[in-house]
Amino acid sequence: MMNSSRIRTICTFIIALAFAAVTLSGCGNTKSIDTSSQEVAPSNVRVDYDAARPDPVRKVTREVTLVIIVTDVEAASSQVEEIVQEVDGYIESAGIWQRNEHKQGQFSLRVPVEKLGVALPRLEALGRIDRKNMSGKDVTEEYYDVEARRTTLEKQEKRLLELLDKAGTVKEMLEIENELTRIRGEIESRQARLKVLDNLTNLATINLELSTSKTLSTGLSPGEPLDQRVKAGWLRGVNGLINTAGELVVLFAVILPYAPFIAVAVYIFYRIRKKRQSKNIDK
């Protein structure tokens, strides 16, 4: 009886141990599942955020250099003004000058980027294209770096204003105000740079040069008839001779007031030289 009672006790103890082991194992699995589900959630949130974040708008500056040969620079200049006004642009700078018989005009034009495709063909139609260059510069990275820095500075400004309200001493107030002044200066600097970049990217720059046909030394284009080129060369030579004679007359007029002094100096030099020659002969 003793043996069967002991065996029953041992069996009961073993069953209890087994039940406890199963229970603990189940709890461990449940915790493992919960942990893994908690780890997945942040990953899903991050992926959704990346998918929802829009791509930044590219910021590109555009510049065009255009040299056009025209028959009349003045008339073409008036047309340039009309074209720029019609595309809602403006003339940043302009100049027309004449070198000998060769007239030229230079313009710096600013036109909206979206209307560059309208303005260019119309400008090119003013005459014959001698040279055309187009270039662009991507300033996207610089733009958003400056913008992010400005945002950070604005947050610092907000925190400093909160601290200023809580300042307990005059010293603390002065220190915070000095820092606020510095921060606001940096914010204004970033805002100015963003404004410049916006202007450069929203408006294309057209460097336009208008010129009459490139000329030979005769003042005529290479395609002109030979007799006209010879005639023009002869007239140019005669004009050069007349100009030279005129310059000599002007030079004579400049020297004339000094003529008496020059004559006295020449006379004195002549007398001294003659005396020396006489002494040499006597010896």
End residue of a domain, out of 18, 38, 53: 53
- The number of C-alpha atoms within 13 Å of 17 and in the hemisphere containing its C-beta is 6
pLDDT at residue 47, rounded to an integer: 36
- Per DSSP, 53 falls in state S
pLDDT at residue 76, rounded to an integer: 94
State the greatest distance between any 2 C-alpha atoms of the chain, in Å, as a whole number. Answer: 181
The Cα 50–Cα 45 span in angstroms is 9
pLDDT at residue 243, rounded to an integer: 83
End residue of a domain, out of 182, 197, 214: 214
Q: Helices in the chain by DSSP H: which ranges?
A: 2-52, 73-86, 116-124, 140-166, 170-202, 226-255, 259-282
Domain with 247 in it:
221-283
Q: Are residues 153 and 174 in the same domain?
A: yes
Q: Are residues 202 and 62 in the same domain?
A: yes
Q: Are residues 16 and 84 in the same domain?
A: no
Domain count, the chain: 3
**8 A C-beta contact, residue 127 and residue 105:** no
Q: Are residues 49 and 61 in the same domain?
A: no
- Per DSSP, 220 falls in state S
Q: Each residue's pLDDT tens digit in the chain (283 positions)?
A: 444 555 555 555 555 555 555 454 444 444 333 333 333 333 333 334 334 345 678 899 999 999 999 989 999 999 999 999 999 999 999 999 887 777 899 999 999 999 999 999 999 999 999 999 999 999 999 999 999 999 999 999 999 999 999 888 999 999 999 999 999 999 999 999 999 999 999 999 999 999 987 544 445 554 456 666 677 677 778 777 888 888 888 887 888 888 788 888 888 887 887 777 776 666 5
**8 A C-beta contact, residue 59 and residue 138:** yes
Q: Are residues 92 and 187 in the same domain?
A: yes
pLDDT at residue 128, rounded to an integer: 93
Q: Are residues 110 and 208 in the same domain?
A: yes
Q: Are residues 175 and 235 in the same domain?
A: no
Q: Are residues 68 and 36 in the same domain?
A: no
pLDDT at residue 152, rounded to an integer: 95
The residues near 167 (Cβ < 8 Å, ≥ 6 apart) are: 173, 176
End residue of a domain, out of 53, 68, 94: 53
pLDDT at residue 174, rounded to an integer: 93
Interstrand relation of 128-138 and 60-69 (parallel, antiparallel or unpaired): antiparallel
pLDDT at residue 200, rounded to an integer: 92
